A and B are shown apart, each in its own frame.
Chain A
Amino acid sequence: MNVVMYEDELNQIQVVVDKLVRDANARVVCIVDKNGQLIAASGETENLDTTSLASLIAGTIAAMGGMAKLLKENEFPTQFHEGVKANIHIQLVGNRVILAVIFDSRATLGLVRLRVKRASDELNTIFEALAKRIPHGSDGAPFAEITDEDIDNLFND
Chain B
Amino acid sequence: MSFINYGQREINCKIVYYGPGLCGKTTNLQWIYQRTAPEAKGKMISLATEQDRTLFFDFLPLSLGEIRGFKTRFHLYTVPGQVFYDASRKLILKGVDGVVFVADSQIGRVEANMESLENLQGNLAEQGYALEKLPFVMQYNKRDLPEIAPVEELRELLNPTHHPDYEAVASKGIGVFDTLKAVAKSVLTELKRGAGA
Whether the pair B43, A143 counts as a contact (CB closer than 8 A) is no
Interface string of A128-157 (1 = CB under 8 A from B): 000000000011111111101011101100
Say whether B163 faces chain A, with CB atoms less than 8 Å apart. Answer: no
Interface string of A2-29 (1 = CB under 8 A from B): 1111110111000000000000000000
Give the residues from 91 to 141 in chain B that come closer than 8 angstroms, CB to CB, to chain A: 91-92, 94-95
Whether the pair B91, A35 counts as a contact (CB closer than 8 A) is no
Q: How far is the CA of A144 from the CA of B4 in the complex (A)?
A: 13
Say whether B35 faces chain A, with CB atoms less than 8 Å apart. Answer: no
In the complex, how many angstroms separate the beta carbon of B85 from the nearest chain A beta carbon?
A: 11
Question: A5 touches which one: B6, B57, B192 (CB < 8 A)?
Answer: B6
Whether the pair B67, A63 counts as a contact (CB closer than 8 A) is no
Whether the pair A66, B90 counts as a contact (CB closer than 8 A) is yes
A56 / chain B contacts, CB cutoff of 8 Å: 45, 59
Query: Please, how many residues of chain B have a CB less than 8 angstroms from a CB on the other chain?
Result: 44
In the complex, how many angstroms separate the beta carbon of A1 from the nearest chain B beta carbon?
A: 6
Say whether B38 faces chain A, with CB atoms less than 8 Å apart. Answer: no
In the complex, how many angstroms separate the beta carbon of B128 from the nearest chain A beta carbon?
A: 10
Whether the pair B75, A55 counts as a contact (CB closer than 8 A) is yes
> Which A positions have Cβ atoms within 8 angstroms of B?
1-7, 9-11, 33-37, 39, 49, 51-52, 55-56, 59, 62-63, 65-66, 138-146, 148, 150-152, 154-155
Known pairs A10-B7, A10-B8, A37-B3 / 8 extra A-B pairs, C-beta < 8 Å: A2-B3, A35-B3, A36-B59, A51-B61, A55-B45, A66-B91, A139-B4, A148-B192
Q: Can you pick out 9 interface pairs between chain A and chain B where the beta carbons lie within 8 Å of each other? A: A35-B14, A35-B94, A52-B59, A142-B68, A144-B195, A145-B197, A146-B197, A148-B192, A155-B181
